[in-house]
Amino acid sequence: MSVEFMKTVYSRLTYDAGSSTNPLRTAVGDRIYAIEAPASAALPLVVYSMDSVDTERYFGGNTMNIGSFTVTVYAAADAGADSILDIEQLVHDILDQQDLVVAGHDRGYVTNISRGVPELNGEVYRSDSSFQMFSHKS
């Protein structure tokens, strides 16, 4: 199940906006990575990872999967704290309160649990935001 959730999160973060561009992809130059970024990757960038996936089973074979995941935004300190806040806002806008298509499920939904607060770690700002994804299968 976590593989389907990882693919769903990536799909949502990198969605094709049709004639317009995906604002998050534009802001980070398509540097959106699962689990960890390459050591030589330029900033800013986004990294996402699953924290946990739980399954609840109901009568009649229905299931609900609940996945918790974290999206981390990294930006260069010399770009200023506002730059990371702008990117974190884009992540929030793309994910929070959104219906999602999860492979093999009837419907999916994601909601924000906690918004990231920029922290300065040496020459890099970092902001972690937590989300929960729900998928239902009848």
The pLDDT value given to residue 33 = 96
Contact 130, 117 (CB under 8 A): no
For Cα atoms 83, 89, 90, give the angle at the middle one, nearest 5 degrees: 95
pLDDT at residue 107 in the model: 84
Q: Which of 72, 70, 56 is nearest to 1 (CA)?
A: 56
What values do phi and psi take at 60, rounded to 5? 85, 5
CATH architecture, range 2-137 = 2-Layer Sandwich (3.30)
CA distance 26 to 110: 22
- Residue-level pLDDT at 34: 93
Calpha distance 68→49 (Å, rounded): 9
Q: What is the pLDDT of residue 19?
A: 62
Residue 31 CB neighbours (<10 A): 17
pLDDT for position 45:
96
All structural domains of the chain with their residue ranges: 2-137
With 0.85 as the threshold, say if the pTM is over it: yes
Residues (pLDDT < 50) of the chain are none
